[in-house]
Amino acid sequence: MFDFLEGYDVLGAFWMTVKLTALSAVGSLVWGTLLAGMRVSPVPLMRGFGTAYVNIVRNIPLTVIIVFTSLGLADIFGMTMGAPDDFKVQGFRLAVFGFIAYTAAFVCEAIRSGINTVPVGQAEAARAIGLNFNQVLRLIVLPQAFRSVIGPLANVLIALTKNTTVAAAIGVAEAATLMKTMIENEAQTLAIGAVFALGFVVLTLPTGLVLGWLSKRLAVKR
């Protein structure tokens, strides 16, 4: 019944999806937090940059960004990601770079809305005891904000997992690339579709459940 799977490395393709997701998630969390910090910072230029970045990147289709990492970053700007002679590794790293650039905009917005949920009194009290902007943000606001944004961040993570399929556009051998090849070559379209759908349900459902549970547990009781 599942003989159509023979000769195809389905698990390998999904492993690639997982790797893309994990690396991009870590990267976009860091870059997104920095961006959020810029967007609420006292320096107007940084605020402007953060706002511009988010509004520009959010409005470009991810496909354009991913293709451009290859055509623009690698070919024009020579950013070969430490692998100038190995296009497989390079394509993977470029894709991760593109996902980080794109997802960070959403992470930034999630964290910023989290910062907005921290009661004004918290920041005021922190300032009253003499903390500066960095300290207020690092010690008081962000720790609370992070706990309240676990829900939205989980959504961003799930979206990222699904978005990694766009890496197919620059030939990274992940799940969507394999599915395209398989439905072109094999007759059991429905079965193939079911296998890949199931794969993504398996990847995203536990993420949603675990992080949903976590966000409830860690929610700041007010």
Partner 1 sequence: MTSVLYDTPGPRAKRRNVILSVVFFVLLALFLWWVWTTMDEKGQLKWDLWEPFTTTQAWTTYLLPGLANTLKAAAIAMVIALPLGAVFGIARLSDHRWVRGVSGTVVEFFRAIPVLLLMLFANEIYVRYTDVSSEQRPLYAVVTGLVLYNASVLAEVVRAGILSLPRGQSEAAYAIGLRKGQTMSSILLPQAVTVMLPAIVSQLVVIVKDTALGGVLLNFTELLNSRSTLAANYANVVPSFIVVAVVYIVLNFILTSFASWLEQRLRRSKRGTGAVLAADAVDDLNAGEVGGTAATGHGGKT
Partner 2 sequence: MKLRKASAAAAAALVLALTATACGGGDKDSDSDTGSGSGSGGGDKIKIGIKYDQPGLGLKEPDGSFSGFDVDVATYVAKELGYDADQIEWVETKSADRENALARGDVKLIAATYSINDERKEKVDFAGPYLLAHQDLLVKSDSDITKATDLNGKKLCSVTGSTSAQNVKAEIAPKAQLREYGGYSECIAGLQSGAVDAVTTDDSILAGFAAQDKYKGQFKLAGLKLSNENYGIGIKKGDTATADKVNKALEKMVADKAWQKAVDDNFGPAEYKNEPAPQIGNIVK
Residues between 54 and 93 that touch partner 2 (CB under 8 A): 67, 70-71, 74-76, 85-87, 91
Q: Where are the alpha helices (DSSP H) in 40-79?
A: 44-58, 62-68
- The smaller minimum CB distance to partner 2, of residues 46 and 83, is found at 83
Which listed option, partner 1, partner 2, none, makes contact with residue 171 (CB within 5 to 8 Å by class)? partner 2
Can you tell me the distance from the alpha carbon of 58 to that of 38, in angstroms, rounded to the nearest whole number?
Answer: 17
Q: How far apart are the first and last CA of the chain?
A: 54
Q: Assign 187 to helix, strand or coil.
A: coil
What's the DSSP call for residue 140?
I
* Cα(35)–Cα(29) distance, integer angstroms: 10
- Compute CA distances 197 → 144, 167, 193, whole Å: 36, 17, 6
Nearer to partner 1, 9 or 75 (CB): 75
Candidate segments 135-143, 154-162, 168-176, 202-210, binder of partner 2 by CB under 8 A: 168-176
Least distance (Å) from partner 2 to the CB of residue 90? 9
Contact between 129 and partner 1 by CB under 8 A: the answer reads: no
Minimum gap (Å) between residue 55 Cβ and partner 1: 7
Contact flag: residue 99 with partner 1 (CB under 8 A): no
